Structure 1
Amino acid sequence: MTIQTRTPRNTIFQGDCIDTMRRFERGSVDFILTDPPYITHYRGRDGRTVANDDNAGWLRPAFNQMHRILKPGGFCVSFYGWNKVDLFMDAWRSAGFRVVGHLVFRKQYASSSRFLRYEHEQAYLLAKGEVTPPANPIPDVIDFAYTGNRLHPTQKPVPALLPLIECFTRPGDLVLDPFCGSGSTLEAAQQLGREWLGVELDELHHATASRRLQSLHEAA
Structure 2
Amino acid sequence: MTSNTNTARNMIFNADCIEMMRSFERGSVDFILTDPPYVTRFRDRAGRTVANDDNGRWLRPAFNHMHHVLKDGGFAVSFYGWNKVDLFMDAWKAAGFRVVGHLVFRKRYASAARFLRYEHEQAYLLAKGNPTRPAHPIPDVLDFPYTGNRLHPTQKPVEALAPLIEAFTKPGELVLDPFCGSGSTLAAAQQFRRDWIGIELDNGHYRTASKRLASPQHHRAAA
In the alignment, the residues of structure 1 paired with residue 182 and residue 41 of structure 2 have an alpha-carbon distance, to the nearest angstrom, of 19
In the alignment, the residues of structure 2 paired with residue 77 and residue 15 of structure 1 have an alpha-carbon distance, to the nearest angstrom, of 21
1:8, distance to aligned residue in structure 2 (A) = 1.1
Q: Deviations over 1:63-118 (max 9, x none)?
A: 00000000000000000000000000000000000000000000000000000000
Q: Secondary structure at the match of 2:179?
A: coil
RMSD, aligned α-carbons: 1.1
Q: Secondary structure at the match of 2:84?
A: helix
1:5, distance to aligned residue in structure 2 (A) = 5.3
Say whether 1:112 aligns with 2:98.
Answer: no
1:191, distance to aligned residue in structure 2 (A) = 0.3
In the alignment, the residues of structure 2 paired with residue 16 and residue 55 of structure 1 have an alpha-carbon distance, to the nearest angstrom, of 15
* Residue in structure 2 matched with residue 164 of structure 1 by the alignment: 164
Instruction: Tell me the TM-score normalized by structure 1.
Output: 0.97
* Residue in structure 2 matched with residue 76 of structure 1 by the alignment: 76
* Residue in structure 1 matched with residue 191 of structure 2 by the alignment: 191
* Residue in structure 2 matched with residue 130 of structure 1 by the alignment: 130
* Residue in structure 2 matched with residue 202 of structure 1 by the alignment: 202
Q: Secondary structure at the match of 2:215?
A: helix
In the alignment, the residues of structure 2 paired with residue 125 and residue 6 of structure 1 have an alpha-carbon distance, to the nearest angstrom, of 25
* Residue in structure 2 matched with residue 87 of structure 1 by the alignment: 87
Percent identity, please.
76
1:218, distance to aligned residue in structure 2 (A) = 5.3
Q: Secondary structure at the match of 1:67?
A: helix
* Residue in structure 2 matched with residue 139 of structure 1 by the alignment: 139
1:7, distance to aligned residue in structure 2 (A) = 3.5
* Residue in structure 2 matched with residue 32 of structure 1 by the alignment: 32
Q: Secondary structure at the match of 2:88?
A: helix
Q: Secondary structure at the match of 2:167?
A: helix
Q: Secondary structure at the match of 1:94?
A: helix
What number of residue pairs does the alignment pair up?
217
In the alignment, the residues of structure 2 paired with residue 27 and residue 33 of structure 1 have an alpha-carbon distance, to the nearest angstrom, of 15
Instruction: Tell me the TM-score normalized by structure 2.
Output: 0.95
Q: Secondary structure at the match of 1:30?
A: strand
In the alignment, the residues of structure 2 paired with residue 57 and residue 184 of structure 1 have an alpha-carbon distance, to the nearest angstrom, of 25
